[in-house]
């Protein structure tokens, strides 16, 4: 079965529209999870969805579409409605005939996606990449291509000034699962080969950031060699293949663009998606984080380096790198307790996570004295915590947080006691290796 976001990607219809069709009774999910409210659809519902889209494109209102779908073809009201529409079509037959051909072409293309793959899908791994990128929210999909082209030119010019050798390919990342025509969160850039100390320690240039794109243990990948307007079909193929072969997506879509040796040829685009086997995915949820430990932890004082923002370019990982370099020079913090390293996340009371949050990477101390330059102090009160273990790689961390806040909390009988949580890194943390473990503390109280 398809999650609503996956159906959105295949059909190129927004999640908001699919939910609206559900409320109107036009397209009901095949299944709604009674615990978390997630909507699931069958592939067999695609013809019905495309029938709705086709009728809408023919200028039928949603009320009319609802009637057309439920009424018998011999119904007098249906006949009258169609006669009225036929009269409208005759008044501008040339335009409407063109519209009809586009709808029929779209229906045929969607059907072909599931009958014939244009390129095989393979599974591969990806190492850590040093990348130079710009991340931005774009108001509409229509300006993406122009913005991407201009931004890549700016990045290449910047790297040329830094004497950095571009290894390529160029990179495009979509930081949302669903298909959108507006409010896109996208990142473009290129993979580079250069001394990491030169790039990572140097200043960023305007919106251009250099950072490490974390490696991925398992990627579903396929090559797109057709004209660029057919790219949506390649996404549909990869989504369908992932679903039917027992995998679940765990990270954002990536496009890697390779320039052809012959300039006149269409560029080759590799479409990728980090995935996990469905068995591992659900085992991760059920075995690793389904049953948190709940206990009270005394208050503590945290001394460390601070970041405020939305972690759009991996700034938290960069903060830890900076903190570790500072600690290599300092040795120990004054009055350090010897407890694990802690990453404290605080959302200010007068803002939401969309506006930004504070993250402090540091160590607990028993007393505050001789604060190192650039360090901050944060006091964390005593709370009762639900403590979750995250095992494995970095790309699946988002799924752990999604489970905590969207599945476990609504069903638990608890609510969040404060707008904070923190990550507890002890000796079992192995830098997101397969057997790495760290703990997420969420303050809770009874409803």
Residue 323, in any domain of the structure? yes
pLDDT above 80 for 168: no
The larger pLDDT score, comparing residue 371 to residue 36, is at 371
Tokens of residue 427, six digits? 């000796």
CATH number of the domain bearing residue 256: 3.20.80.10
Residue 362, in any domain of the structure? yes
**Domain match, 271 and 126 both:** yes
**Domain match, 298 and 416 both:** yes
**Domain match, 36 and 135 both:** no
**Domain match, 226 and 81 both:** no
pLDDT above 50 for 201: no
- DSSP 8-state assignment for residue 228: G
**Domain match, 262 and 162 both:** yes
**Domain match, 130 and 95 both:** no
Confidence of residue 107 (pLDDT cuts 50, 70, 90): low
Confidence of residue 95 (pLDDT cuts 50, 70, 90): low
Q: Please state the φ and ψ torsions of residue 251, each to the nearest 5 degrees.
A: -160, 175
Residue with tokens 């549909």: 236
Q: What is the pLDDT of residue 233?
A: 79
**Domain match, 347 and 417 both:** yes
**Domain match, 95 and 41 both:** yes
**Domain match, 307 and 377 both:** yes
Q: Please give the tally of structural domains in the chain.
A: 3
pLDDT in tens, 203-246: 567 788 888 888 888 899 988 876 655 777 788 888 888 877 77
Residue 105, in any domain of the structure? yes
Q: What is the pLDDT of residue 2?
A: 79
**Domain match, 46 and 99 both:** yes
Last residue of a domain, one of 245, 276, 307: 276
Is the peptide bond prior to 169 cis by the omega test (within 30 degrees of 0)?
yes
The domain of 402 spans: 293-446
**Domain match, 393 and 298 both:** yes
Q: What is the pLDDT of residue 403?
A: 82
**Domain match, 130 and 10 both:** no
CATH number of the domain bearing residue 39: 1.10.1660.10
| % helix, strand, coil for the chain, step of 5 | 35, 30, 30
Residue 393, in any domain of the structure? yes
Question: Any residues with CB less than 8 A from the CB of 435 and at least 6 apart, and which?
Answer: 391
Classify residue 69 as exposed, middle or buried by CB count within 10 Å of its CB (0-12, 13-18, 19+).
middle
Which 3 state secondary structure label does DSSP give 208?
strand
């Amino acid at each position: 079965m398809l999650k609503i976001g996956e159906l959105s990607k295949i059909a190129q219809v927004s999640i908001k529209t699919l939910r609206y069709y559900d409320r109107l009774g036009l397209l009901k999910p095949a299944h709604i999870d009674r615990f978390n409210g997630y909507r699931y659809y069958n592939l067999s519902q695609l013809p019905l969805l495309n029938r709705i889209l086709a009728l809408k494109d023919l200028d039928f209102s949603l009320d009319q579409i609802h009637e057309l779908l439920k009424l018998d073809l011999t119904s007098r009201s249906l006949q009258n409605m169609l006669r009225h529409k036929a009269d409208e079509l005759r008044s501008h037959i040339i335009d409407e005939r063109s519209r009809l051909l586009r709808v029929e072409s779209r229906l045929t293309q969607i059907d072909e996606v599931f009958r014939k793959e244009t390129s095989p899908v393979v599974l591969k791994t990806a190492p850590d990449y040093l990348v130079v990128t710009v991340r931005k929210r774009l108001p509409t999909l229509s300006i993406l291509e122009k913005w991407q082209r201009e931004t890549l030119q700016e990045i290449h010019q910047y790297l040329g000034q830094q004497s950095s050798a571009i290894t390529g390919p160029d990179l495009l990342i979509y930081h949302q699962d669903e298909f959108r025509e507006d409010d896109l969160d996208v990142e473009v850039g290129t993979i580079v080969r250069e001394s990491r100390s030169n790039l990572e320690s140097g200043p960023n240039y305007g919106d251009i950031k250099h950072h490490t794109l974390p490696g991925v243990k398992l990627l579903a990948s396929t090559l797109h060699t057709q004209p660029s307007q057919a790219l949506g079909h390649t996404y549909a193929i990869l989504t369908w293949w992932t679903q039917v072969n027992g995998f679940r997506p765990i990270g954002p879509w990536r496009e890697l663009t390779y320039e052809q040796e012959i300039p006149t040829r269409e560029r080759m685009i590799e479409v990728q998606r980090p995935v996990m086997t469905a068995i591992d995915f659900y085992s991760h949820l059920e075995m690793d984080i389904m049953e948190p430990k709940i206990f009270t932890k005394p208050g503590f004082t945290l001394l460390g380096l601070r970041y405020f923002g939305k972690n759009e370019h991996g700034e938290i990982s960069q903060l830890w790198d900076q903190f570790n370099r500072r600690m290599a020079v300092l040795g120990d913090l004054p009055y350090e307790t010897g407890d694990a390293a802690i990453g404290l996340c605080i959302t200010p009371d007068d803002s939401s996570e969309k506006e930004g949050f504070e993250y402090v990477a540091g160590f607990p101390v028993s007393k505050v004295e001789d604060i190192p330059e650039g360090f901050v102090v944060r006091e964390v009160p005593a709370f009762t915590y639900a403590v979750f273990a995250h095992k494995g790689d970095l790309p699946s961390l988002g799924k752990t947080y999604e489970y905590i806040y969207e599945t476990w909390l609504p069903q638990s009988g608890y609510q969040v006691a404060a707008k904070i949580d923190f990550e507890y890194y002890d000796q079992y943390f192995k830098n997101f290796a397969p057997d790495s473990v760290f703990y997420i503390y969420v303050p809770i109280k009874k409803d």
